[in-house]
């Protein structure tokens, strides 16, 4: 066991990978520590329970993902260009995961929502915060696009939620069919949901 900070990070990394592969329930502390290369005793030094671990995994994943979303959505370009880049980044992440694991592992937050939200209220509450934050970030860009007359939506919040729901639904299919090609339709669907111009009519964007 190296420095304690290394051990905690190794446990989180291994747990993240195992949760991606098999979900939360089958995960065992012994298996995590073996994969992380740390003594089993060190687990409870850092995490009081498996639930505390999964919450730390969720927090770390969202810290990283939120940074990526922020960089894209606060970046250069028109609102729709930035939103499009977010969809491309989402698809690229799923393709990278497929290349490293052999299968599409899907969205960690979506996976844990369906597996855990009815079983542990703290996990449900944290996942709600994360999806609320995602919807708020998409909504801000949608409102910007609306001010520019590029989209026509009656309710910015509902529209942003529909966009995030479409991502979750299509990522579910990409996982089921182990086929990231299914994500290629996400952007056209997003434009349709927002009442924006279809991609073929770039002149109207």
**How many residues form the binding site for its own copies (CB under 8 A)?**
46
Q: Which of 105, 137, 138, 160 binds its own copies (CB under 8 A)?
A: 105
Query: Is residue 195 a contact residue for its own copies (CB under 8 A)?
Result: yes
Comparing CA positions, the residue from 115, 119, 8 lying closest to residue 57 is 8
**Which stretches of the chain are DSSP H helices?**
4-22, 29-36, 40-46, 50-73, 79-101, 108-116, 121-147, 156-176, 186-193
Residue closer to its own copies by CB (options 11, 127) is 127
Residue closer to its own copies by CB (options 38, 79) is 79
**Stretch of 6-14, 47-55, 61-69, 104-112 lying at the interface with its own copies (CB under 8 A):** 104-112
**Stretch of 7-15, 21-29, 60-68, 79-87 lying at the interface with its own copies (CB under 8 A):** 21-29
Query: Is residue 16 a contact residue for its own copies (CB under 8 A)?
Result: no
Give dist(CA 45, CA 39) in Å, integer: 11
Give dist(CA 133, CA 138) in Å, integer: 9
Comparing CA positions, the residue from 66, 112, 111 lying closest to residue 89 is 66
Residue closer to its own copies by CB (options 4, 103) is 103
């Amino acid at each position: 066991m190296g420095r304690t900070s290394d051990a905690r990070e190794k446990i989180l990394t291994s747990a993240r990978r195992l949760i991606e592969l098999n979900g939360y329930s089958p995960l065992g502390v012994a298996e995590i520590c073996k994969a992380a290369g740390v003594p089993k005793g060190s687990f409870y030094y850092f995490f009081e329970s498996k639930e505390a671990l999964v919450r730390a995994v969720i927090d770390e994943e969202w810290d990283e993902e939120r940074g990526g979303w922020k960089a894209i959505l606060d970046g250069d370009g028109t609102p729709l260009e930035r939103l499009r880049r977010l969809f491309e980044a989402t698809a690229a992440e799923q393709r990278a995961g497929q290349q490293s694991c052999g299968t599409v592992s899907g969205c960690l937050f979506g996976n844990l929502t369906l597996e855990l939200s009815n079983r542990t209220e703290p996990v449900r509450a944290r996942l709600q915060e994360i999806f609320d934050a995602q919807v708020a970030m998409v909504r801000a860009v949608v409102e910007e696009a609306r001010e520019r007359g590029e989209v026509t939506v009656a309710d910015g919040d509902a529209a942003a939620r529909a966009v995030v729901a479409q991502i979750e639904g299509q990522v579910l299919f990409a996982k089921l069919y182990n086929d990231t090609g299914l994500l290629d339709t996400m952007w056209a669907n997003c434009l349709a949901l927002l009442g924006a111009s279809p991609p073929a009519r770039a002149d109207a964007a």
